[in-house]
Amino acid sequence: MSFDRGVLGFLAVFVLLGGVGSLVSPESLAEQAGWSATPAGLTEIRAFYGGVQIGLGCFLAWCVRTRKWTLPGLFVAGFAVGGIGLARAIGLLVDQEATTYHLVNLAIEFATVVLVAVAVSRHRQHGGE
């Protein structure tokens, strides 16, 4: 498997597992993020964090299997995670409360964008393979 498709496959599994975790155990995410775990809040975590991540993970997995979609899959992953990281960084600056949860996630988001950028570059250098 090529490097770019390997990165995409890793991200597909990582995002999919995060979505399944949010769907089955939203209390864990609520606790880590410092949110109130009301029934309505847990449903929202299941729907948004679980649903979006499961959908994105499935799309990225499909992109791995469909070779001509490797580059679009990398771009979707990079822009989605980059957008989350940018919004998190803005939130940390505006709200002035940098918890370990947010700093760890920001580091993961930054590393993911760098990894995607390397994979895109290698994809282009090797003509898509």
Position 127 scores a pLDDT of 73
pTM of the model: 0.88
CB 45 within 8 A of CB 53: no
Three-state SS letters, 26-43: HHHHHHHHCCCCCHHHHH
**Cα 6 to the chain's mean position, in Å?**
16
CB 61 within 8 A of CB 41: no
Single out the residue of 28, 13, 123, 23 nearest to residue 68, CA to CA.
123
Position 10 scores a pLDDT of 97
Single out the residue of 113, 96, 46 nearest to residue 38, CA to CA.
46
Position 128 scores a pLDDT of 64
What tens digit of pLDDT does each residue of 35-93 get? Answer: 888 999 999 999 999 999 999 999 999 999 998 999 999 999 999 999 999 999 999 99
Please, what sign has the CA dihedral across residues 74, 55, 50, 52?
positive
What tens digit of pLDDT does each residue of 55-66 get? Answer: 999 999 999 999
Instruction: Provide the pLDDT confidence category of residue 20 given band limits of 50, 70 and 90.
Output: very high
Which helix (H) or strand (E) element contains residue 90? Answer: helix 70-95
* Residue ranges of domains in the chain: 3-124
Maximal CA-CA distance, the chain: 50
